[in-house]
Each structure stands twice: as structure tokens, then as C-alpha cells.
Structure 1
Amino acid sequence: MTHGRSSNILFIMCDQLRHDYLGCYGHPALKTPHIDSLAERGMRFDRAYVQSPVCGPSRMSTYTGRYPRSHGTTWNSFPLRVGEMGMGDHLRPLGVRTALCGKTHMVADRKGMERLGIAPSSPEGRLMAECGFELWDRLDGLHQRASGKQPTHYQARMQARGYRTDNPWEDYANAPLGDHGEALSPWHLSQAHRPARAAERDTETAYSTDRAIEFMEDAGDRPWCLHLSYIKPHWPYVAPAPYHRMYGARDVIPVVRSDMELRDPHPILREFHRNRVSQVFSRPEVRDRVIPVYMGLIKQIDDNIGRLLDYLRKSGQAQRTMIVFTSDHGDYLGDHWLGEKDMFHDCAVRVPLIVMDPSPAADATRGTVSDALVECIDLLPTFIEYYGGTVPTQIIEGKSLIGLLHRSRAKLREVAISEYDYSVRKARVGLEMPVADCRMQMVFDGRFKLVNVVGFRPMLFDLAEDPDELRDLGADPACREVIVRLTRALLDWALRHHCRVTVSDADLQDAIGGEARAGIYLGCWDQGDIDQIIRSGDSGY
């Protein structure tokens, strides 16, 4: 066992947080001392990549330890099929109470449950609907409305505090405050500089922090893994006072883009440039209005993490709690003439990842930075090993980070992989692509990043010579050898076992000769051949 039976994990995930918008990752103006303190006491990973640049598939990969092509959830609101094991399904057998506080973007496979006769209200059905997590408090924000449903805990608390609405998330926590106290639209970016109508203590970041502390108070001596999943700094870009005005246009770091990205761009890039969100974030006044609020939301998260760390210290749990901090993807914010997170530039798929392992074995790496290629599917096997379990490698495709944290291993992989299904985006219509072919895959070897676009030439970036990823070399004949090599690496990955999950490699070690042991003798001419098989113990088949 890596750590004691009373060990805990606080697994914190932000939504749409870029890797370069933290103090410890080099942001010149945004101060995040509490998150930075985790990096000082743990290991900061500098090259961590999500397995998809959008919420749903990225999160399902993190929760299952599997790539989107394996678990099948390739876009938001695509159900995670019945049978896919989530984080709680792997940790519960180890005696770990595994709970959710916040967002998952999980959609249950209700058709699959109905087919198998599993009632959604049953204990098994509830776990399947929450990716194996015990539901402590789910708060998905905009996607969680009260119409015709029992009020959520957040709604009930807000109503008890005097917010008279069935949807406090939209009417208060994410509604800019008008001049006369009225709710303005959160979708008007021109209003982003205004404070939210809700007080800071009643917004989702503070609320989820409160609920996380309540869980830790409730957990007792049993080992626990709490997934605290903040909705922010994901849009709507609305921050409560005083965070709405902590930063200004002077604090906005320069945009990363070049005019040459607009000259004869790759067809898929051209289509995403045409999106409304990309065009609006290409305007300087929009960036100057929105990004300071994005920064304020991050500052609010950091302050609330300070509350969590203070609670862990005062409750005596700090020395036995692993803390993991990451994000499900980034945000273009106008970089590369794009908004949202639909492509594979680092600002979208490279995420912050900090792991603070309290065990003495990790003392040698405290405060260090790892440049190993890491994928977010590596977190689940890390948790399993931390609790002393055996990682089922036929199911989980990630690799435990414990070896890196304890300096017993230098690297995990040669390439990092990410995937994207754009079939529900307007780009499909503009490119006249069949739904089944709207697929892209990224393969990155630490220097070269290849983006395979089904039906089109690849995109290629050399991050050693072009760290901002401004020059697409995918059509350059001089780069053919690199393209062939990375395409082969992608093919090798695609041809791996992704679906043989019910039988492990260990189960197959002694499979040869099984026919003979069962009295089945194939290819024998006479009894002499059978006697030979019996003597040798090998059926020869």
C-alpha cells in the first residue's frame, strides 16, 4: 500500500481554466498564492494534456481512465454507456468513499439501463448516472434547471437566503447587476464588467467550497476521495464583487495570433474562424472586457482553495490528504483568432496539473516541475495505486504518476493523444463532411504536434521552433518524414486493444494449452499425438 488506510484525496478540477492563467505557470499579473502553494509542496506537471478539448469527453476520459474512442462519449451530452467503470467503481472496492461535489457533465445511458432492467432510482442506477461517484452535491450550472423537478440543494439554499427564483444560477449567480438592481443577460459580453447579482458567498464557487468542507466534516475516519469540480472560470463570464473589478485591460496578456493564420488556413481552421464566438473574441475590446473577469473568477477559485487548505490544516487531515488540481480544458480567448476550445493548440488542450502527495516517498520531488508527457487519464490509475490497489490495465489506459512523484520513473509515454468529434458543429456543414467522418486526433511527441483531420491533409506544428503554434507545416514537403512518423504513432495507438476489458493480460498468461487441459485435442492423428500433448503439457495449437 502506498499510503495508510485513512489516506484521502481531494481532487479539484476547474472548468475551462487555461494552463497559463496561474501564478505558478507564469502569468505576470494573476496572483494565485494558494494554488501556487500546492506546487511548492508537490509536483507541477508542465506538459499535461486532456484527451479531448471539450468538457464532456474530456471529463469522461478522466473519470474512466480511458480515451474517448474507448468509452464512446465523444461530445457533450453523449451518454456514457452502461458498463463503463467510473472513478468510484474502481475506488469503492478499495474501501474508499468516492464522492462528487460540483460538475461532471455526465449524462446517464438511460436506454442502456432500461434494456438491462436497471432502475435509475436504484443504488446501482444512481451510481451509473454519476460515473460511479456517490452524489454529495451535483452542480452543473446552466444545464441543471429546476423546471418540473425537485429543487437542488443549491436552489434550496439560495431560496432560504432570500433569492426568490427557481434558477438562482442564471438569475443571480451569473446575471450581471443592472443599474437598478435588475438582472442583465449573462450572454451580453458587453456587460461582463458588471458584478453578479449574487453575493460572493452565494455564487457557485463559494457554495461548492462550503459543500466540500461539509463532506470532509461528514466523512469520518473512512478513506475518502472527493471530486470537487468547480464550474468556473467557464462562461458565462460573470464574477461577483469584488472579483469583477480586481483586474483590468492593463493586466491582459498579449494575444497569440498572426495574420499568416488567416492566409490560406487549413479548411478546418477556416471554418472555426467563421464561428461567431471566434469572430467576437478576435476584437480587442472584447478581450479587454472579458479576460479581466475570467481572471477574477480564477482569483475567486484560488481564495476558496485557501479556505479548503485552511480547513485541512485545522482538522488535522492535511498530512494524509493528496491534493490534485487540474482543469478539463482551456479557452482560446482570441488566441489564433478563435474562441471557445474546438482545436488542439496548447491554450485549449494543455492544462495545469499539480499533485501534492503527502507521503514521505514524494519528499524528493516537492516543489519540482516535471516535463514528462502526461495525460489526464493518468489520474485514475494514480489514485488506485495511492490506495494500494492494482490497476486493471485491460480497462484503464492511463499510467500511474506515482513513479514520477516518487522519482522511480522518468517518463510515461512517447506521445500524448487527444481527440475531437466536431459532428455537432457548423464546421461539418461548411466542410460538407458526413457525420461519421467529423473526427480529428492530435498526437504530440514533446516537440512536434500532428493533427490528423479525417478527409483532409494533416496540420503540423514544431513547438521547438514555433512555441506559439503559428506556422502550420502540414503541407510542407520538408516535413514529410515527421508527418509519417507521427501518423504511424497515431496508427499504433489506434490499433491497441481498446475494448478487451473483461479479460486481463494476466488472465491470458496461462491460456496456451487450455484446450488440452479441458480434454480437447485438435490436429491429432492418433493416440500417440495425444500422449505427446499430455506429456509436454502443450496442445500445440
Structure 2
Amino acid sequence: MKHLLATSIIACLLPLGSALAADAEPRDNLLFIMTDEMKSDVMGVAGHPMVKTPNLDKLAAQGTYYKTAYTVAPICSPSRRSFFTSRYPHVHGVIDNNKQALANDGEVDLPTLLKHEGYSTAISGKLHFYPEWQDWNFDHFWARSSEGPNHEETYRQYMFAKYGNDAFKPVKGSVLYPKDPLGHDLGKYQFAKEDFETYWLTDKALTYLTQQQKAQTTKPFFLFLSYNEPHSPYRATEPYASMYDPKAISVPVIPEHAKTERKQALADKIKGKSRHLIDDEQMMRDLTAQYLGHITNVDDNVGRILDYLDNSGLADSTIVVFSADHGNMLGQHGKWFKGVMHEGSSRIPLIIRAGKNTQYAKVMNRGKVVEQIVESIDVMPTLLDMLNIDKPIGMQGQSLLPLTADKAVNWKNHAFSQRSDYMFRLDNFKLILPAKKGKRGEIELYDLVSDPHEHNNLANEPAHQQRLAQMKNSISEWQANKPAPISVAGLTPPAHLFNSSELRRDHKKSSKAMLAHHSKTFQAVKVDPQSKTGDKNDNKNP
């Protein structure tokens, strides 16, 4: 790094330890907030007519809102890996939540890289990496359920300790559709909001931030605050459970083919398919009301975190990112949940704010709305640029800094995504293509400017055949590009980034081979910070 001459002279006069400290410019902190299954337009800043998100709207006004952001995989595990590696799913190897959920060996991720750079690291919430029992280079791991090494109490353990076997039961009589595969997710949380998961996870995050500040350390931190909400189950706590009137909610028209498909799926007892389709408008209204309640719950807790950053002064030196792993169809095309390539599932919210007193504040903190297409893999290189960390070889995303500063030359303006289908968005057009040869499925091509809700399929139109062929070719080239794992100078990938042949073999037989099995009760243990093992609570998986 370049320093002023005076600084260099002073450093030479100091003892060796002090000189080294003076030579190391303090790095910014990073707070990454992620939600699960949050549709891109359920924020005030995104134009939603009903939902209350004053804190996210304020964050967007203080930072940069990327209006046309896509996940590179509209399902949890692959998306989260891509956020943390800046690599597409077919490259890092995680292409589903259960089977094929183990990454390729040596896939260096963001926590590992930041730990290597001297960061204190912590997670409060959902990671969804496999195998579950690893700490994934987080010094602190407050899990919502069974993830992590179980050296800190999980939310599940907290609830069972406080409420016993009633911990996760809904209010009696609040489940309006108890026999429906999707509708039975609807209900009401029976305890105070302070015991709800989002509040508990936020409490742990605030505890960590307070500890970091009290320690008065120059060591920067990376905190990943990852909420499950607005993901199902749709059992909100008050005041959120009754905040939105189902009768006042505007919902999509359910197409007849979706009603027919769901009726057949229910008759055939195909639970997975019947859960991902909806055929009842009233159920859609009831579910959406609770979904929006979850959104405002998340927003309130984001506000708690942002207020702490402001009041403590940490906002001056802390980057804040807000995003989601994927969206939710919320009834569009008669579909629910994620996993498909339509806009409701593949588009995500994305807001980034620089530390208020940092060199990048002039670029990132202007309340700018970026209209161009960006991908979730673009977040990591952006953050490394903002943290003044060299971007390693092997990342596939592009830094958003030039685009945000209006200095990008020939911005890519495209996005890829994959699961059972491939998606390619280029400028105004989107192509959806079955991922496997011979797979039954319709090729879909949409002009998202004239047809934003994707109702008019242009794939068979003669006027679009050349465009269709070119976009298919782009998908083939994208899938063929598989760069080697990320390489970081001086970093030997840690052992947990490699999986044994036995685990891979067992995983192919059953996804249970990757799962942790933490007990319902928690007992604190002394942990060797080097080995990170303890006598109690440790998972016994290999």
C-alpha cells in the first residue's frame, strides 16, 4: 500500500510491533444480511403497494439498489455457494439442496478467504452448506436448527429449553388448511415476537457486534446474518400475523392448467408437486398475508441492526449487503415457492451500502438505482474490491463498482441461472431451456419489456428463431466454461473443503449422510480454539 511520507517516517521510528500495526491500514467490516425465498418486488423501494419495509427502503436510499438482480440458482444451497464463491453451480458442483449438494473439492469460499485475511467471522442463522457439522471457518456459529459444530446454542435448542415439546406448535385452531400439502404450512406462532426466530438471530448478531466493539480490537469482522423468513412455514408472530388483511391483497389469476395439474397431483398423492402449485385463491391470499408479515418482521430486525451500527459508530466502517438466495412465485403461473426460472423465483433483491466514512461511500452511497442486469456471483468480487482485497483467480462474477460509478464499459447486461432448466437473460429477452437432453419441457422465450409477467411465449415465432439459436449457443458456451477452483496466494484450502470418498458414496445413497444431529438440549463446553472440538454437543458424524 502507498503511504504518505510522514507516515513512513513515523513507522520507522516505532518499535517493530508498532511499526507493523502502523503499516496495516484498517480494513472495513462486512455485514451480509440474507433472507430466504424473498421475492424481488416485496419492498417499498421495489414499488410494492402494500408491504411495509421502511428500513430496507432507507438502506436503499443510503446505498445502491440493484433493481434487476438474478440468482444464478433459484434454490437454497446452490445459490448460497455461488454467492460465497462467485462461481456458477455447475462449476462449484452444488446443483441441488439434497442430492448433488456436496461441493467439488477445494472450492474456496468467502468466509475462508476473509479468515485468511485476518477477519473475525460469525454467522447467525441459516448457511445451508453440506456437510452440516462443519464450522465453515466461522469463529461463532449461532444456527437456527442443526447446522454448525454446536459450540453455541441453536435457536431450536433455545426453544425446546424454554417451551419443551410445545416449542414449535402453532396456535390451536390457526391452521386453516390442515389437510392440504401446502395449506398446512399456514398458522400462527403462539409466543411473543421476542422468541421468534428472526428476533433471536438478531439478538445473537447484536451480541456479537457488542463484543467486537467492547474488545476495541483493530481486527475487522465479517458477520453473516441469515434469516429463514419469509420462507415457509407461514406462521407469523404478532403483530405481523394480523398486519395484512388477506381480502385487501391483490393476487395473480390462477391459470386453468395449474388447477388441473394440482388436482391430479393431489389425486396421485404427489406431495412435492402439489406443494409447488396452488389452485385456491383464498388460500393464496391467506398465505401471502403471512408472507408479507414475515417480510415486515425481517425489516424490523434489519432496522435493529442498522440502528446499532449508527449509534455505535460502526456504520462508518461497515459495508452492509442485503439480498436473498432466491424468490418465490407467490401464485404467478399457478406456482408457489422457488426452483423455476420465471421472474418471481429467479429475481432477487440486492442492496449494498458502503461504510459511511470510507473511500467507496461516494460511489455506493448515493441512493442510486441500477437498472442493468446483475448476477448474484457479482456480489463477492464487489465486496473484495470494497475491502481492498485482491480478487483471486477463478471467480466468474464481475465487480459492480464500475457499473455503480457509471464507468462500466460494455457491461455484460446478462444473467444465467440453472436448476432443472437453464435460464439466460440478455438485455430485454429471457430464454428458459430444459437442462437435460431429451427432458420433457417447453422452450420459452419472453420479451420482458412488453411481457414482464411472461405470458407470451415467443419461442415458436419465426421472427425470433435467430435470436433463439444465438441464446441457446450462449447457454452451451456458459456450461462448457469450468475454470479451476479459486486460487489465493498464500492460502492452502482447509481440510473441510474436501470430502472423503466415503461421504460422497454415502451421500449418493441418501442425503442424510450430510446432516448433523444436534440434541434438543445444549450444554456449554470449553472449546480449544485451535481444534474447535469439545466433549459435549459435538456431532459424531465422520
TM-score for both structures, normalised by structure 2: 0.75
SS of the aligned residue for 2:299 comes to helix
Q: 1:493 to 1:305 in 2, by over 3 A?
A: same
Structure 2 spans left out of the alignment, 5+ residues: 3-23, 262-267, 490-542
Equivalent of residue 172 in structure 2, options 156, 172, 178: 178
1:23 has 2:44 as partner: yes
Q: 1:4 to 1:136 in 2, by over 3 A?
A: farther
1:475 has 2:460 as partner: yes
Q: Distance in 2 between matches of 1:259 and 1:479?
A: 28
1:136 has 2:131 as partner: no
Aligned match of 1:404: 403
Give the partner amino acid of 1:91.
L
C-alpha offsets along residues 214-251 of structure 1, whole Å, 9 cap, x if unaligned? 11122243111111000111001110111100001234
Give the partner amino acid of 2:299.
D
* CA shift for structure 1 position 144: 6.0
Aligned match of 2:131: 108
Q: Distance in 2 between matches of 1:96 and 1:206?
A: 25
Q: Distance in 2 between matches of 1:248 and 1:45?
A: 30
Equivalent of residue 107 in structure 2, options 84, 90, 107: 84
Aligned match of 1:507: none
SS of the aligned residue for 2:167 comes to helix
**Mapping 1:16-95, distance limit 5 Å:** 16-77=37-98, 78-95=101-118
1:413 has 2:412 as partner: yes
Q: Distance in 1 between matches of 2:42 and 2:402?
A: 28
Aligned match of 1:449: 430
1:490 has 2:475 as partner: yes
Aligned match of 2:208: 215
**Mapping 1:352-431, distance limit 5 Å:** 352-358=349-355, 359-364=358-363, 366-393=366-393, 395-409=394-408, 412-421=411-420
CA contact (8 A) 1:81 1:108 kept: no
Q: Distance in 2 between matches of 1:31 and 1:381?
A: 31
Equivalent of residue 287 in structure 1, options 276, 284, 287: 284
CA contact (8 A) 1:448 1:462 kept: yes
CA contact (8 A) 1:5 1:387 kept: no
Q: Distance in 1 between matches of 2:338 and 2:367?
A: 30
* CA shift for structure 1 position 81: 3.5
CA contact (8 A) 1:399 1:412 kept: no
Identical aligned pairs, as a percentage? 30
CA contact (8 A) 1:330 1:351 kept: yes
Q: 1:276 to 1:473 in 2, by over 3 A?
A: same
Q: 1:72 to 1:188 in 2, by over 3 A?
A: closer
CA contact (8 A) 2:196 2:237 kept: yes
Aligned match of 1:333: 330
CA contact (8 A) 1:177 1:184 kept: no
Q: Distance in 2 between matches of 1:246 and 1:253?
A: 15
SS of the aligned residue for 1:490 comes to helix
SS of the aligned residue for 2:349 comes to strand
C-alpha offsets along residues 85-121 of structure 1, whole Å, 9 cap, x if unaligned? 1111221222222322110111129xxxxxxxxxx7x
CA contact (8 A) 2:424 2:475 kept: yes
CA contact (8 A) 2:107 2:486 kept: no
Q: Distance in 2 between matches of 1:274 and 1:236?
A: 15
C-alpha offsets along residues 463-510 of structure 1, whole Å, 9 cap, x if unaligned? 122111112222223210110111122223223343365599xxxxxx
Q: 1:207 to 1:68 in 2, by over 3 A?
A: same
Q: Distance in 1 between matches of 2:282 and 2:175?
A: 25
C-alpha offsets along residues 28-78 of structure 1, whole Å, 9 cap, x if unaligned? 011100011000001000111101111111111111111100011111031
* CA shift for structure 1 position 156: 4.2
State how many pairs are aligned: 448
Q: Distance in 1 between matches of 2:473 and 2:164?
A: 58
Q: Which moved more, 1:336-345 or 1:3-12?
A: 3-12
Equivalent of residue 459 in structure 1, options 444, 468, 479: 444
Q: 1:94 to 1:405 in 2, by over 3 A?
A: farther
Equivalent of residue 9 in structure 1, options 30, 40, 50: 30
CA contact (8 A) 1:87 1:133 kept: no
Q: 1:338 to 1:184 in 2, by over 3 A?
A: closer
Q: 1:400 to 1:172 in 2, by over 3 A?
A: same
Structure 1 spans left out of the alignment, 5+ residues: 110-119, 121-125, 166-170, 265-270, 422-439, 505-541
CA contact (8 A) 2:176 2:187 kept: no
Root mean square deviation of aligned Cα: 3.3
* CA shift for structure 1 position 407: 3.7
1:157 has 2:158 as partner: yes
Give the partner amino acid of 1:336.
H
1:276 has 2:274 as partner: yes
Q: Distance in 1 between matches of 2:302 and 2:485?
A: 40
Q: 1:312 to 1:382 in 2, by over 3 A?
A: same
1:311 has 2:305 as partner: no
Q: Distance in 2 between matches of 1:355 and 1:190?
A: 35
Q: Distance in 2 between matches of 1:299 and 1:186?
A: 28
Equivalent of residue 255 in structure 1, options 249, 252, 270: 252
CA contact (8 A) 1:52 1:68 kept: yes
C-alpha offsets along residues 339-391 of structure 1, whole Å, 9 cap, x if unaligned? 12121011001000000112344335511100122111111112222221111
* CA shift for structure 1 position 5: 1.8
CA contact (8 A) 2:378 2:397 kept: yes
* CA shift for structure 1 position 314: 1.5
C-alpha offsets along residues 292-346 of structure 1, whole Å, 9 cap, x if unaligned? 0000011111111111111111211011111110001111121111112121011
Q: Distance in 1 between matches of 2:316 and 2:461?
A: 53
Q: 1:159 to 1:501 in 2, by over 3 A?
A: closer
Give the partner amino acid of 2:78.
P
Give the partner amino acid of 2:302.
I
Q: 1:502 to 1:6 in 2, by over 3 A?
A: closer
Q: Distance in 2 between matches of 1:330 and 1:154?
A: 24
Q: Distance in 1 between matches of 2:191 and 2:177?
A: 12
CA contact (8 A) 2:121 2:138 kept: yes
Which structure: larger Rg?
Answer: 1
Give the partner amino acid of 1:499.
A
Q: Which moved more, 1:206-215 or 1:97-106?
A: 97-106
Q: Distance in 1 between matches of 2:410 and 2:352?
A: 16
Give the partner amino acid of 1:320.
S
